[in-house]
Amino acid sequence: MFQQNSLIQVVITDVRDQAMKAFISVDMEGMPYVVIPGQLGLKGSLYEEARRIATKVTLIVADELNKNGFEKVIIADSHGPMVNLLVDDLPEYVEMVRGFYRPLAMIAGADDCDVAVFLGYHAKFGTEKSTFDHTYSGAHINRLEINGVPVSEFLLNGYALGELKVPVIMVAGESKLLEEDVKKYGPNIATVPLKKSLSRVSARSPSMRKIEKELRNSVRRATANFRKGTLNPLIVKKPVNVKVTFIGSQSADVAELLPSAKRLDGLSIEYAANTLTKAYRMFELLVLAAAGMAALMENAK
């Protein structure tokens, strides 16, 4: 039994300070110095250079997240075949999600995380003077609209994470994406421009030393904002209405076979889902179907 004059100190710790987990989704087109197709594919002439750049950027952010209280960092390798990042020297606190195909492709592994960070992200298809502008699949998708809003991969993945109650706290990538979509839909999200595009295949990037400094500062700022409660998940209105405009009419021909899809014109279909997760999965299916149709046409030559 405590005496009346005993000093009793009760410490209440916010759950966010207990074993917090961060998620990082990593794309390549928005990485610094990445400006030609030869940096983006497995057989590209400068692919190894781009891998090293993306790995360095990612590990800088993972290190700073860990220093700011995130005991585990889940990294989703999310470009192309999704086996781009080098894994030789991963810290013990990191887990890597690799490989394609996987459900909820670019955010696979985020379901039990506290926060999310997007690295190497880029602007949506049709953005003027923006390196490698595209939406999810540059070969097949012209435009993706959710509830009438044209979305980038940032917004698509941000909405999907919002359904998991995971806020995006930081985005680093091509400047047009940050200036347009991120500023409009996530004004409190910390941002780091990794390059400023001069055309679709040219850009100006700071030195890696400056980039590292800005990334670390941004992680600290984003983490502080999260702890203050000023960063909320991105929420989409339900039901989710989706319009997909393809680059080729043959892709729309195949997409029209989906029972819930309605053909709008030569290139477009629309469908609805009661959750963003279901809408995302249906979109993935349509992209895979478009890729399959392209392969059939190629084999028919």
277's CB contacts (< 8 A; 6+ apart) are 104, 160, 163
Provide the β-strand partners of residue 242: 146, 271
Residue 289 and residue 170 share a domain? no
Domain that holds residue 288: 240-299
Tell me, yes or no, whether 8 lies in a domain.
Answer: no
Tell me, yes or no, whether 181 lies in a domain.
Answer: yes
Residue 154 and residue 78 share a domain? yes
Answer with the one of 183, 205, 228 that is the final residue of a domain.
228
Q: Which of 215, 179, 165 is nearest to 58 (CA)?
A: 215
Residue 169 and residue 31 share a domain? yes
Residue 155 and residue 33 share a domain? yes
Tell me, yes or no, whether 9 lies in a domain.
Answer: no
Entry pTM: 0.92
186: its two tokens:
């996530």
Confidence at residue 15, expressed as pLDDT on a 0 to 100 scale: 42
Tell me, yes or no, whether 234 lies in a domain.
Answer: no
Tell me, yes or no, whether 233 lies in a domain.
Answer: no
Confidence at residue 5, expressed as pLDDT on a 0 to 100 scale: 37
Domain count, the chain: 2
How many CA atoms are closer than 13 Å to the CA of 265, on its beta-carbon side? 7
Confidence at residue 55, expressed as pLDDT on a 0 to 100 scale: 98
Residue 269 and residue 202 share a domain? no
Tell me, yes or no, whether 192 lies in a domain.
Answer: yes
Contact present, 232 and 77 (Cβ < 8 Å)? no
Residue 121 and residue 252 share a domain? no
Confidence at residue 2, expressed as pLDDT on a 0 to 100 scale: 33
Residue 275 and residue 129 share a domain? no
Q: Report the CATH number at residue 272.
A: 3.30.1360
Tell me, yes or no, whether 121 lies in a domain.
Answer: yes
Confidence at residue 59, expressed as pLDDT on a 0 to 100 scale: 98
Residue 34 and residue 160 share a domain? yes
Residue 282 and residue 203 share a domain? no
Instruction: For residue 214, give Cα distances in angstroms to 175, 211, 235, 266.
Output: 14, 5, 28, 45
The percent of the chain in helix, strand and coil, each rounded to the nearest 5, is 35, 25, 45
Residue 224 and residue 269 share a domain? no
10-residue stretch averages of pLDDT, the chain, 301 residues long:
34 52 98 98 97 98 98 97 96 97 94 97 97 96 98 98 97 98 97 98 98 98 96 95 98 96 98 97 96 93 89
Residue 82 and residue 203 share a domain? yes
CA distance 128 to 124: 10
Q: Encode burial over 205-227: b for 16+ CB neighbours within 10 A, e otherwise.
A: bbeeeebbebbbebbeebbebbe
